[in-house]
Amino acid sequence: MEEFLQQLTNGLAVGGIYALIALGYTMVYGVLKLINFAHGDLFTYGAYLGLTLLASLALTDRLGFALGVLVLVLMVMGLVAVLGAILERAAYRPLRESPRLSAVVSALGASIFLQNTLMLIYGARFQVYPDDILPAAMLNVFGLYLPLMRVLIVLASVLIMIALYLFIQKTKIGTAIRAAAIDQGAARLMGIDVNRVILLVFLVGPALGGVAGLMVGLYYGQINFTMGWVYGMKAFTAAILGGIGNIPGAMVGGLLLGVIEAMGAAYLSIAWKDAIAFLVLILILIVRPTGLLGERVADKV
Amino acid sequence: MKNRFKPFAMALVAALLAIAPLFLNAYHVDVLNSIGLYALLALSLNLILGEAGLFNMGHAAFYAMGAYTAAILNTRYQIPILWTLPFSGLVAGLFALAVARPVVHLRGDYLLIVTIGVGEIVRIALVNDVFGITGGANGIFGISRPKIFGFIIRQPQHFYYLIWGFVAITALLFYLLKQSRFGRALNYLREDEVAAEGSGVNTDYYKLAVFGLGAAWAGMVGTLFAAKMTIISPESFSFWESVVLFMIVILGGAGNMVGVLLAAFLVIGLPELFREFSSARMLVFGLVMMVMMVVRPQGLLPARGRW
């Protein structure tokens, strides 16, 4: 039981990270019907920017742990959001009226470009997060000893998701995003500036992805410039699992995928860990192509 | 006017390719060999992605199936490597049919993501030494050299003619296929699936058929690859290979064979020539891909309509 609960909480932490990345994919897909292949790399930028800021500004020494990390999170979010907006301008906006596959190749090109920029700046080797940011404390939750960082990551990702959900559901801007996702033309006729909605989506999505990157750095301690591929593909799987274009779906899908993967790695085979996610993906697409929460069913004629 | 020169231009390029090994050094011939292999793979992917419009970003999986079939038959059962060609094609084709059967009806992007997943699962299976026959992460080595009528193909120049001969045959066959009823059905499928179905084209049949055919071809290219390298390992069949092939087809102009061949030269050849700038060349590669798509979204030579 102890082992099971450890795996479950670990799965929830990883799942929270997947969910945050998946939100970026699903929001962009909802509005533009584009798989943003460079999103995984923006996530990696979050991890690297977090490391650089942490090392150069020594925020946690100056402001204490809680405030320091909060400032760090906000800075990473802001910077990665700006990157996302630049990406949209440079790689996607000129291709909005073009064949879909051209945008896919442009996205792949952007991904290669971003990845190799990181490699040139930081080198190809693993980068290590300082391990003295917070005490390696164990938290006693109902008799279960959990690493503090794991608990914080689960809490933080859930908090961010609730905030995003409220933003999308309750605010005027959120309504505009949902409207643009359902029908861009009709949204435009209703006076919604679709270009601004798209820009906003490319600010919010990457910001969430950037935080996820920072979380991976803090959780695992080491990061690599190519890790965006794997995390990106898994997060996209999570988005499909929940129903692509559906924001609560991405959250549920991410958490679920994280738990499935952790359980699979623990009880089935660790060597096949990365294959589990894709197996789940294929099964879900065969059984229920719209995902768990997706309601917009396949193309009607 | 332009079309009258086209046959001459193509004949000239073919003649140049035919005599190229005579005045190039071994390294450059080797680069041309890898361009040839990618050109073959891209042509086979072009059937699926370009002609039929099915988004396949896991082509490396079928390539891997073929290469591993050839390597296993050759190293375990001593079957001469070129004799394994039909088996490689068969195994890769059947695998593709089995995989595609439940998912081929999916809409574009879903198919894209499923094929990525299949590619990754195959790669992970190879790394994990599935059934104990793939040699794990080290792969399979000691594949014998191909032999034609007692002549052992060993040097890059010899492989050059083997590979590019295969390219020529492939281009001819695929050209004939494109002109056939089958090819027309594929294009119909790409342009408007609903209309195709409405006009009596059995869409599921054609989708599966083209998936199987393209995969079988990639499997046979896998045999050539195994014969050329004599060592194969899972890292030769990573997601990256599928991405490169995808890019070649789209950059060339999906559905245009000349465009695809041209793109194979650019995408594989140019980074090879700029090896000195090793660290920055992939950065430039990514940038060029973005710029090319913005400047020419339909690819270098877009497919022409039939009407």
B247 and A100 within 8 Å at the Cβ level: the answer is no
Q: What is the pLDDT of residue A181?
A: 86
- Helix (H) or strand (E) holding A110, with range, is helix A100-122
Q: Residue B247: list chain A partners with CB under 8 A.
A: 105, 108-109
Q: What is the pLDDT of residue B2?
A: 56
Q: What angle do CA B199, B204, B206 make, to 5 degrees?
A: 80
User: Would the pLDDT of B1 be above 50?
Assistant: no
CA atoms of B70 and B85, how far apart (whole Å): 7
Q: What is the pLDDT of residue B65?
A: 93
Q: What is the pLDDT of residue A134?
A: 64
More confident residue, B150 or A246: A246
Q: What is the pLDDT of residue B134?
A: 81
Report how far apart, in Å, the C-alpha atoms of A55 and of each of A50, A60, A288, B19 are.
8, 10, 46, 58
Residues of A numbered 8-37 whose beta carbons fall under 8 angstroms of chain B's beta carbons: which are they? Answer: 29, 33, 35
B114 and A98 within 8 Å at the Cβ level: the answer is no
A118 touches chain B (CB under 8 A): no
Q: What is the pLDDT of residue A298?
A: 46
A240 and B250 within 8 Å at the Cβ level: the answer is no
A167 touches chain B (CB under 8 A): no
Cross-chain CB nearest to B297 (options A95, A115, A272): A95
A120 and B124 within 8 Å at the Cβ level: the answer is no
User: Would the pLDDT of B307 be above 60?
Assistant: no
Q: What is the pLDDT of residue A46?
A: 93
Buried b (16+ CB within 10 A) or exposed e, A27-52: bbbbbbebbbbbbbbbbbbbbbbbbe
A108 and B254 within 8 Å at the Cβ level: the answer is no
Cross-chain CB nearest to B121 (options A29, A229, A275): A275
A110 and B290 within 8 Å at the Cβ level: the answer is yes
Residues paired with residue B251 on neighbouring β-strands, in sequence order: none
Per-residue 3-state assignment (H helix, E strand, C coil) for A186-213? HHHHCCCCHHHHHHHHHHHHHHHHHHHH
Cross-chain CB nearest to A109 (options B107, B125, B290): B290
Give the mean pLDDT of B270-295.
81
More confident residue, A212 or B53: A212
A239 touches chain B (CB under 8 A): no
Interface test with B, best of A95, A104, A229, A241 (most B CBs within 10 A): A104
Domain range list for chain B = 27-239
Give the mean pLDDT of B147-173.
84
A96 touches chain B (CB under 8 A): no
> Chain A closest CA to B294's CA: distance in Å?
6
Strands A127-128, B147-148: pairing is unpaired
Residues with Cβ within 8 Å of residue B111, at least 6 apart in sequence = B54, B55, B56, B103, B104
CA atoms of A18 and B137, how far apart (whole Å): 28
B102 touches chain A (CB under 8 A): yes
pLDDT in tens, B233-242: 898 898 888 9
Instruction: Point out the least confidently predicted range of A106-115, A129-138, B60-69, B280-289.
Output: A129-138
Q: How many CB pairs under 8 A join A and B?
A: 126
The length of chain A in residues reads 301
The length of chain B in residues reads 307
Q: What angle do CA A167, A171, A176 make, to 5 degrees?
A: 100
> Chain B closest CA to A186's CA: distance in Å?
24
Q: What is the pLDDT of residue A35?
A: 87
Cross-chain CB nearest to A271 (options B102, B128, B297): B128
Q: Residue A297: list chain B partners with CB under 8 A.
A: none
Virtual torsion, Cα B55, B57, B60, B66, nearest 10 deg: -30
Amino acid letter for position B269: G
> Chain B closest CA to A117's CA: distance in Å?
6
Domain range list for chain A = 22-227
Q: What is the pLDDT of residue B3?
A: 66
Q: Are A25 and A41 in contact (CB under 8 A)?
A: no
Q: What is the pLDDT of residue B215?
A: 94
Amino acid letter for position B297: P
Ordered mean pLDDT values, 10 residues apiece, chain A (301 residues): 85 93 91 89 93 80 78 91 92 85 89 91 84 69 79 90 91 90 87 90 94 90 88 91 86 92 86 86 83 59 38
Within chain B, strands assigned E span: 140-141, 147-148, 151-152, 231-232
